[in-house]
Structure 1
Amino acid sequence: MTTDNVQTVPTGPRRSVELDSDEALRLLGSVSFGRVVFTRQALPTVRPVNHLLDGGDIVIRTHEGAALTSHTRQAGAPGVVVAYEADAIDPHTHLGWSVVVTGYAHLVTDPHELARYQALLHPWVNQTMDYAVRIRPDLISGVRLTPAEEPGAA
């Protein structure tokens, strides 16, 4: 093995830099995959999903038998509380960012909106996804993981 093919991986500690909500949402909108967290049988449940960002809201597609579909269908105003997490962290350098949004999820019931989301957001799984869920962010937090500055570096 030659050193020509070896990547330099930063070693040492990382620094966690808080993101403002605008930057966090911008980063979340730059990826199409995340994880929705909700309560099922009084326990936290996590599902990987693809999403789109629409006017600051996160939209995901679901199917008839999905737990999140039934939870949002049964929820009255203001909806069901969920968290949504997305990230882009390099597996070698451990640098990147993570964003967590907490808010209320609602089933999209307007037929025109639903048709629009069905045209824009294509599920990654081979399953009929007739529903869409909109998450309206109330709390937005994010961090960027960067190399820690060396002591004495200017």
Structure 2
Amino acid sequence: MYANDGVRELGRHECLRLLATAPIGRIVYTRQALPAVVPVNFGLDADGAVLLRTSATSELVRAVDGAVVAFEADAADVETHCGWSVVLTGRAEIVRDPAEAARLELIGPRSWAPSPEEVFVRIESELVTGRELVAGRTMYGLYLSA
């Protein structure tokens, strides 16, 4: 146990605020009964849902549609040993409604690897947790490299 671990739990509002500042996140899903993690660019909808834009024929789309997934983003400063991590868990759905897809076309993320036929994936923010490391960890006053 650390004498002062410097870790602070974050509330939902603060987690979503921090997520909005991250350019890249990671979607965690199941591929062939094993965990898979893929880095993606993303956006947030007004209700806190994570939005992805990807190829309609991608393995990711086939694997996540209707599945419960996790999404994680973070930031770290290696000099000061400070940073944060947010994990959002919820059901992923392909946006099929034409009106909703048109709305997301205006506000949603742009794919960094565009394809001829793209879809939006929406991950509902059913569970949002986060932690902030506000200082390097110490044990009895001594710095530990983690």
User: What range is the shorter-chain TM-score in?
Assistant: 0.7 to 0.9
Counterpart amino acid of residue 114 in structure 1 = A
Task: Check conservation: 2:28, 2:71, Cα contact below 8 A.
Answer: yes
Counterpart amino acid of residue 26 in structure 1 = R
Aligned equivalent of 2:131: 143
Per the TM alignment, residue 90 of structure 1 is displaced from its structure 2 partner at its CA by: 1.3
- Per-residue displacement from partner, 1:76-119 (whole Å, max 9, x unpaired)? xxx21100001111133221111001110000001122133233
Task: Check conservation: 1:123, 1:129, Cα contact below 8 A.
Answer: no
CA RMSD of aligned residues (A): 2.3
Q: Quick one: distance in 1 between partners of 2:116 and 2:80?
A: 38
Aligned equivalent of 1:82: 69
Length, aligned pairs only: 135
Q: Which runs of 5+ in 1 are unaligned?
A: 1-12, 74-78
The counterpart of 1:65, out of the listed 49, 57, 62, is 57
Larger-Rg structure: 1
Aligned equivalent of 1:134: 122
Aligned equivalent of 2:32: 41
Q: Which runs of 5+ in 2 are unaligned?
A: 141-146
Pairs within 5 Å for 1:1-154: 15-54=6-45, 55-73=47-65, 79-120=66-107, 121-128=109-116, 130-147=118-135
Task: Check conservation: 1:61, 1:129, Cα contact below 8 A.
Answer: no
Q: What is the TM-score normalised by the length of structure 2?
A: 0.81
Q: Quick one: distance in 2 between partners of 1:27 and 1:129?
A: 30
